[in-house]
Copies of this chain bind each other. A is one copy, B any other.
Amino acid sequence: MTEKQRKILDIALELFAQDGYNSTSTNKIAQEAGVSEGLIFKHFGSKEGLLDYLVEEGVALMNEELDNLMRIENSVDRLKATLRFPKAVIDKNPAYWKVQMSIKFANHEIVEKYHNSSFMGKAMGIISETFEELNFENPQMETQLLMQIIASFFMSLINDEMENYAEMVSFLEKKYNLI
């Protein structure tokens, strides 16, 4: 990966997050990256190819995070970490996840790309196992509900709409009898 190639990716990520995928022209990306417009197409084939590259990077990153979560052996600690997961991930790279989510809804065809990617299933597996280990009465429904809650937290965090995240985590820890 050349310096310019990396620059294109970084600027594209930033602009997609800022203005959305559709509202960002390849011309603008090239200009801000200090690069000829043609280079984007030489390296990524098309504007969508550029997006795909970004998405794949994001999915890989997310999978790494999930792997870390999976490595926590104690179930209670793992569930606690799960509740903190959205904020932990986003704080590491806010720009990345702003794009991921915004494009998910901006472009109908891309929704599926994300949904078919491995990490939804992997996340479900981890949470489900945790609830089973903790002998919750209805682990399947608990899993589904928590997935929804966590997805929702992702959204809110991305839009800077959750100032009291820590408080919410405590509240849920009580609900799940983790303290």
Contact = CB atoms under 8 A, between A and B. Distances in A.
Contacts of A23: 22, 107-108
Contact-size category for A: 20 to 34
A50 to B, nearest CB: 17
A170 to B, nearest CB: 9
Main secondary structure of the interface of A (DSSP, over half): helix
Number of identical monomers bound together in the oligomeric complex: 4
A116 interface: no
Interface in A58-113: 101-102, 104-108, 111
B108 A105 contact: no
Interface stretch (A6-14, A28-36, A125-133, A147-155): A147-155
A153 B152 CA distance: 9
Given A19-B108, A23-B107, A152-B155, 15 more contacts: A20-B106, A20-B107, A22-B23, A22-B106, A22-B107, A23-B108, A101-B105, A102-B106, A102-B108, A106-B106, A141-B167, A141-B168, A141-B171, A145-B172, A148-B152
Q: Which 3 A-B pairs have the closest CB atoms?
A: A105-B105, A152-B152, A106-B106
